[in-house]
Structure 1
Amino acid sequence: MIINDFIPVQTTPFSTRIKIKIHVWRFVNVTIFRLFPNQIKKPRILLLRMFGAKIASTVNINRKANIELPWNLTMGHLSSLGANSWAYCLDKIEIGQKCCIGKDVYLITGSHTIESVAFNLITKPIVINEGCWIATGSYILFGVTLGRFSVIGAKSLVIKSTEDFDVVGGNPAKFIKKREFS
């Protein structure tokens, strides 16, 4: 009977070595990473690079940002990650140049399949192309690609990819208009 086989326990397919690396990073992320004021960026950049992140020396990552599995994170020149944001890098997260990711934004690259009685982990990358602005409290789900210079309205849930210069918002996020620069 399927009900007896159903095991909704969230497990990960990672090796013991990777699980240890994850726990060491989590400790660093909630201790040393947060020691330095936001104006002193270099130590956070160095720590992330030590754990495999590919980030430009010009990024601005708030000391209260939570980054899981940083070896799957790429951030381009002049991009930022706001306070209390969560980059859940179970898969690749690629953030292009000059992207502004606001406070309390969640970038979530994984979930669990509802078709499996074992609640198997599924992951897909997130790609945030250059010039995107993701406003406060938004969620970007796995498999989403944000087109260049897209704007995501505050408190939006993005489940579908956007085109270049799209402005989207809502839950789920819907197209509002094209972004125009004056």
Structure 2
Amino acid sequence: MTINDYIPVQTTPFDKKTKIKIHLWRLINRTIFRVFPNQIKKPRIILLRLFGAQLAETVNINRKSNIELPWNLTMGHQSSLGDNSWIYCLNKIQIGEKCCIGKDVYLITGSHSIESPDFNMVTKPIIINDGCWVATGSYILAGVTLGRFSVIGAKSIVFKNTEEFDVVAGNPARFIKKREFKNIT
């Protein structure tokens, strides 16, 4: 392999119709989507559903969240996306019920193959099971499944799956302990 064989041009494999849909959504996501205050949730849910997102009526999506390719997004009852979160749905992203995706969190389902001289795009889904909390500034990378009730510590980068009730943190995220719920009276 020579440098002349290496073509790291970032292109997407999408057809023209999909590219137009992507650009139309980006325009809406950066304009109309942000007009409504966070207390008025319904218009954002309607806009996302118009573009194919599968959302429960009770989701809370911050007006400053950035959602790419929303037709690959599913969110369950009482789940939320925080301020400036980036939901990069090149593949499916499934967020269960009662999940908190914090401020500045990145959910990234795509990258490029380091083994390809053409820099081919590779994607894998992300699954966030019920009751998870992904804290501020964390990254969840392609192919990761978070077990039910997992907690991802602030500023963590998650490359690997978590088990139920795992608390992980760091770069790369490492197991800290099991989450325990206590009765508070």
- TM-score, normalised to structure 1, is 0.99
Structure 2 unaligned regions, length at least 5? none
Deviation at 1:2, TM superposition (A): 3.0
Aligned to 2:136, the other structure's residue is in SS state coil
Residue type of the partner of 1:179? R
Deviation at 1:159, TM superposition (A): 0.3
Residue type of the partner of 2:84? N
The answer to whether residue 71 in structure 2 is matched with residue 90 in structure 1 is no
Aligned residue in 1 for 2:35: 35
Aligned to 1:37, the other structure's residue is in SS state coil
Aligned residue in 1 for 2:55: 55
Cα distance between partner residues in 1 of 2:95 and 2:12: 25
Cα distance between partner residues in 2 of 1:181 and 1:103: 23
Structure 1 unaligned regions, length at least 5? none
How many residue pairs get aligned? The number is 182
Aligned residue in 2 for 1:11: 11
Deviation at 1:5, TM superposition (A): 1.1
Give aligned-pair identity as a percent.
79
Aligned residue in 2 for 1:73: 73
1:125-136 → structure 2 map (5 Å cutoff) = 125-136=125-136
Cα distance between partner residues in 2 of 1:7 and 1:114: 11
Aligned to 1:67, the other structure's residue is in SS state strand
1:82-133 Cα deviation digits (max 9, x unpaired): 0000000000000000000000000000000000000000000000000000
Aligned to 1:97, the other structure's residue is in SS state coil
Aligned residue in 2 for 1:26: 26
Residue type of the partner of 1:94? Q
Aligned to 1:127, the other structure's residue is in SS state strand
1:161-172 → structure 2 map (5 Å cutoff) = 161-172=161-172
Cα distance between partner residues in 2 of 1:180 and 1:57: 29
Aligned to 2:140, the other structure's residue is in SS state strand
Q: Does the CA-based 8 Å contact 1:36-1:43 persist in structure 2?
A: yes
User: Where does structure 1 differ by over 6 angstroms across 4 or more consecutive aligned residues?
Assistant: none
1:85-164 → structure 2 map (5 Å cutoff) = 85-164=85-164
Q: Does the CA-based 8 Å contact 1:92-1:124 persist in structure 2?
A: yes
Please give the root-mean-square deviation of Cα atoms over the aligned residues, in Å: 0.5
Aligned to 1:24, the other structure's residue is in SS state helix
Residue type of the partner of 2:89? C
Cα distance between partner residues in 2 of 1:102 and 1:116: 34
Q: Does the CA-based 8 Å contact 1:2-1:117 persist in structure 2?
A: no
- TM-score, normalised to structure 2, is 0.98
